[in-house]
A = this chain, B = another copy of it.
């Protein structure tokens, strides 16, 4: 277990609730605050439901023990004051994050760490003026954090260097898969990789080269099978007899040609988006989106259970 034993959650929406579950599952004492009293009131039932779904998928043995470690707090200082680690998960807007982090800054211990769930705004945009700004960074999860373990740790220029190895180890102890992003690049790593694939997918779709359904199949019945258990570098390392350098010698020119062919990037066009929207709504009517999202979450849980049972 992590040396960070008491964790505060600030912002108890879907992401914050998922985080509360992650920390409580790993044995931490979790103190949850949200400025919205109705969200605070709903959080325990929401977290209970998530835990029950996970139990149903065979991912956890017990619902009550993790729940018993979660305390709902009526004020931010009450949640944050005793915390070794604070996970901020409020609305993705600079003014909102700045206001909340100012409150956290005033209430937190000088040796505590605050990670923001920001998916795109860098920590430097909302922590510059804080007294303890060297204790803040981004800890960007994938939604939902209790099912998809990746967390991007992105320091601001003033973040204490010692926080990165400490929080990396703590996140691993909590069952997450942290990575360190060495500078505040737009989109961090995950959304840049996703974006690169999405941009190519849209360009192919707009050129009429394949249907959205067939482009989806290319990933779900092709590329995605390996990527569920190994990354792109390991994939190519095992795809040539001599490893990654051998693979690169053979195929780097092809991939460079592909990049050059997209050197004049266009925004996703409204025409292509409308067309894909029509194609998707024929496959999945708008009133079935929630049902299909529930299916996705069940599939994710089953996949996580499968992956856990496999030898690394």
Please list the residues of chain A having a beta carbon within 8 angstroms of any beta carbon in chain B.
120, 142-143, 147-150, 152, 177, 179-183, 185-187, 189-201, 204-205, 207-212, 214-234, 236-239, 241-245, 248, 252-268, 273-274, 276-277, 280-281, 284, 286, 289, 292-293, 295-296, 299-300, 302-304, 306-307, 310-311
B293 and A226 form a contact (CB under 8 A): no
- Do A210 and B227 contact each other (CB < 8 Å), given the known contacts A197-B196, A276-B233? no
CB distance from A195 to the nearest CB of B (A): 4
Q: Are A222 and B268 also in contact (CB < 8 A) when A193-B197, A217-B177 are?
A: no
Contact A268 B255 (CB under 8 A): yes
A223 to chain B: which residues have CB within 8 Å? Answer: 142, 150, 190, 193-194, 227
Interface of A is mostly: helix
Bound form: Cα–Cα A67–B44 in Å: 57
CA distance A55 to B265 in the complex (A): 47
A215 contact set on B, CB distance < 8 A? 179, 189, 193, 231-233
- Chain B minimum-CB-distance residue to A248: B273
Contact of A195 among B181, B217, B244, B255 (CB under 8 A): B255
Whole-angstrom distance from the CB of A4 to the nearest CB of chain B? 20
Docked pose: A292 CA to B233 CA in angstroms? 14
Instruction: Report 19 cross-chain contacts, Cβ distance below 8 Å, ordered by A residue.
Output: A177-B222, A179-B218, A180-B211, A181-B209, A181-B214, A186-B258, A193-B218, A196-B197, A196-B258, A197-B197, A199-B256, A215-B231, A216-B230, A216-B232, A234-B284, A237-B289, A255-B268, A256-B265, A262-B265
* A56: min CB distance to chain B, Å: 14
A265: which B residues are within 8 A, CB to CB? 256, 259-260, 262-263
List residues of chain B with CB within 8 A of the CB of A252: 267-268, 273
Residues of B within 8 A of A242 (CB): 286
Q: How far is the CA of A248 from the CA of B210 in the complex (A)?
A: 19
Report how far A189 CA is from B216 CA in the complex, Å: 10
* A143 contact set on B, CB distance < 8 A: 239
